[in-house]
Amino acid sequence: FFLCPRCSPHRTKRGSRGMAELRRRRPPAETSEPLPSDASDTLSDTDVDCGASSASETDMAERDPSREAGSFGPAGHTSGENKLTKLVKRLFFGTSLLLFLIFVLSLGHLTTLAMLLIAQVLMFRELVNVRYKTRLVKTIPWFRTTQWGWFWCCMVYSYGNSFSQEKLLSLIRSPTLVGMLPYVQLLSMAAYSFMLMLFVLTLKAGYYKYQVGQLAWTMAVIVVTVVQVNSFTQNIFNGLFWFLYPVGLVICNDSMAYFCGLAWGKKLTQKPFLAISPNKTWEGFFGGGICTVIFAFYFPLLLVSYFHPTVCPCEALFDPWIDCETPPPFLPLLPLERDYTKTRSHFEPLLSSALESYDALQRQLLGQSQPLLRIQLHGLALGAFASLVAPFGGFFASGIKRAYKIKDFSAIIPGHGGVFDRIDCQLIMGLFTYIYTSTIVDGGGLIARERVLALATALPAEERLLLYRELTASLRDAKLL
């Protein structure tokens, strides 16, 4: 006992102290199995929404950021044949989408609005599926029902509120529908109250954080797919030009940025453009922007000259192609500028010189004189926005895909991904177009006399008589009668 150092009382005592201190200092051993959790609301969004990637994949992404920012799928270079096949597929289905869009536009405003509604439904489905987990949804009652309930509640309010405005109210010929529109807000409030109660009643212990996180994500998706897209409704009925023109600008910017990046990418600067989109280059961004501004300046000439009905505001829902007097934004600039007051007369020499230079350039390029239209100047502002700001709608979508480690939002369009993959940049462009036309472009030119007359005809007889007297008095004050 005394000869064994490990059996010595003093040795044993000191050894016990050392082992105890060592245990206190030693970090807890890592286990491959997760710790069991109780039935409290400790289920975090990370545990739920990132379950598609294993812990090893997460560690690899942390050690190698380029993996998350890079391409998805197996590593390695794609063969030339596969690249060619992919390019042909993208061109074929891209051209098919463009032809389908032209066909829908030819059917009129109402058909275009129906296409927009279908796109909203598909976009909402794609975005909510980003955080959708089947293994958890099966245990949560009415999970998908509540998501779609919130969506349709906001859709009813959005479209009902749009058609309740004076511009669109005059298009509805049915007295029954006109009488129902004032109650849309009340119906939407009732649906909102029901959805709020349903959500609270479906909260389940152990899933509180997941359900609240899903509700927040659903509301964010509704802002993108319903609130933001509501501006497209106004653009469509102000004239199909205001729908087709911004769509064309975004398509031009997307295409030219690709070809400019393909031709001059990484040749002027090696500095990366964006971490979330490593394939994007500065040369492609600015090259596509310059081409888009030039396209924005000349594209209105094509639409006004050969597709004049597109500039006409909608006068009847079921009359696709109507002709009208050219609205003021699409008239030549020179006659309008000559009507300036004397306070602006000192601009006339500079304006005349600029217009003469423009006319000489048109003669060289087109072989004929072409007056400068007001919409061409507005197009410069819209083209600049489509070049500098609209692409960040696509970068925002790329950030979502990087965060959830998905390549596309869906595979509904072969070679292009989902609907949101194709129109991510279009959403903010359509919103800006609506705000720009409402504030900068002459709004009075977007309301035709026929629409005002139809709106006045819908008034009761007493209101029409009062309107006639007020209009007569106004004309007499202006010494027009």
Q: What is the pTM of this model?
A: 0.73
Do 337 and 460 belong to one domain? no
Is-contact 392 424, C-beta < 8 A? no
Q: How wide is the angle at C-alpha 325 spanned by C-alphas 319 and 329, nearest 5°?
A: 110
- Under DSSP, the state recorded for 276 is S
Handedness of CA 89, 92, 95, 100 (dihedral sign): negative
Task: State residue 322 phi and psi, 5-degree precision.
Answer: -120, 145
Within-domain flag for 9:
no
Residues spanned by the domain of 425: 81-448
Within-domain flag for 253:
yes
Within-domain flag for 467:
yes
Q: What is the DSSP string of 349-389?
A: HHHHHHHHHHHHHHHHHHSS--PPBHHHHHHHHHHHHHHHT
Q: How wide is the angle at C-alpha 184 spanned by C-alphas 178 and 190, nearest 5°?
A: 155
Within-domain flag for 21:
no
CB burial string 202-227: b at 16+ within 10 A, e below: eeeebbebbbebbeebbeebbebbbe
Find, among 422, 426, 419, the residue nearest to 389 by Cα: 426
Is-contact 358 220, C-beta < 8 A? no
Do 267 and 369 belong to one domain? yes
Overall domain count for the chain: 2
Do 114 and 243 belong to one domain? yes
Do 91 and 180 belong to one domain? yes
Do 296 and 371 belong to one domain? yes
Do 342 and 468 belong to one domain? no
Within-domain flag for 19:
no
Do 334 and 466 belong to one domain? no
Do 243 and 104 belong to one domain? yes
Do 86 and 194 belong to one domain? yes
Do 323 and 472 belong to one domain? no
Integer-rounded Cα Rg, in Å, for the chain is 31
Ordered per-residue pLDDT tens for the chain, 481 residues:
344 444 444 444 445 555 555 455 554 444 434 333 334 344 444 343 443 333 343 343 334 444 444 444 433 344 444 777 877 888 888 888 889 999 998 888 889 999 999 999 999 999 999 887 766 667 788 888 899 999 999 999 999 888 877 666 667 766 777 778 888 889 999 999 999 999 999 998 888 998 999 999 999 999 999 999 999 998 998 889 999 999 999 999 999 998 898 888 888 888 888 888 888 889 999 999 999 999 999 999 999 988 888 898 887 776 666 778 888 889 887 654 444 444 444 556 666 677 667 767 766 666 666 778 889 999 999 999 999 999 999 999 999 999 988 888 988 888 788 899 999 899 999 999 999 998 888 654 455 566 677 677 777 888 889 988 898 988 888 888 7
Is-contact 292 250, C-beta < 8 A? no
The rounded distance, in Å, linking the Cα atoms of 80 and 85 is 9
Q: What is the DSSP string of 29-52?
A: PP-SSPPP--SSS---HHHHHTTT
Do 113 and 97 belong to one domain? yes
In this structure, the number of other CB atoms found within 10 A of the CB of residue 263 comes to 11
Within-domain flag for 15:
no
Q: Tokens 């389940």 label which residue?
A: 204
- Under DSSP, the state recorded for 209 is H
Do 125 and 209 belong to one domain? yes
Within-domain flag for 25:
no
Within-domain flag for 367:
yes
